């Protein structure tokens, strides 16, 4: 399985600011995804990061709030913009497996917004 790293691992931010989360994979992958896991909740897909084109967002998530970049096949960033306390969550990056039958997850970024 791919080895996935995320930076930062955690952060505490002030409301109104923005944070960019990085996701790095040790091998080229076709698909990269960003999820949110709110406290005590399950995972919700934010968007699919597409290499060379705009990300595909799920219902309830918009590009202005969660801009995503995917400059190559091993790297993606998610920005959480104009943060409010409701954005306090774990943000997880995932990638598709080589068989494209499942996904592997990174360790997550724990975000607390004050």
Partner 1 sequence: QKEVEQDPGPLSVPEGAIVSLNCTYSNSAFQYFMWYRQYSRKGPELLMYTYSSGNKEDGRFTAQVDKSSKYISLFIRDSQPSDSATYLCAISVGGAQKLVFGQGTRLTINP
Nearest CB to partner 1, comparing residues 20 and 100: 100
* Per-residue contact string for residues 30-59; x = within reach of partner 1 by CB under 8 A: xx-x-------xxxxx--x---------x-
Cβ(85)–Cβ(2) below 8 Å: no
The residues, any chain, with a CB within 8 Å of residue 12's CB and separated by 6 or more, are 112, 113, 114
Q: What is the DSSP string of 27-94?
A: S--S-EEEEEE-TT--EEEEEEEPTTS--EEPTT--TTTS-EEEEETTEEEEEE-S--GGG-EEEEEE
Residue among 57, 61, 75, 104 that touches partner 1 (CB under 8 A):
104
* Per-residue contact string for residues 1-30; x = within reach of partner 1 by CB under 8 A: x--x-------------------------x
- Residue 96 touches partner 1, criterion: CB under 8 A: yes
Tokens of 38: 């709110």
Q: How far is the CB of 32 from partner 1 (least distance, A)?
A: 10
Q: Tell me, what DSSP letter sits at residue 9? A: S
Count of residues of this chain found to bind partner 1 when the rule CB under 8 A is applied: 26
| Contacting residues toward partner 1, per CB under 8 A | 1, 4, 30-31, 33, 41-45, 48, 58, 92, 96-97, 99-108, 110
């Amino acid at each position: 399985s791919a080895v996935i790293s995320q930076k930062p691992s955690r952060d505490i931010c002030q409301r109104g600011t923005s944070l960019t989360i990085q996701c790095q994979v040790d091998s080229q992958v076709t698909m990269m995804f960003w999820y949110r896991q709110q406290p005590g909740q399950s995972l919700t897909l934010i968007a699919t990061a597409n290499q060379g084109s705009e990300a595909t967002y799920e219902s309830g998530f918009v590009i202005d709030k969660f801009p995503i970049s995917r400059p190559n096949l091993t790297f993606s960033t998610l920005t959480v913009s104009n943060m409010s306390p409701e954005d306090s969550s774990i943000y997880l990056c995932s990638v598709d497996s080589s068989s494209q039958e499942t996904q592997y997850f990174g360790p997550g970024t724990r975000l607390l917004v004050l």
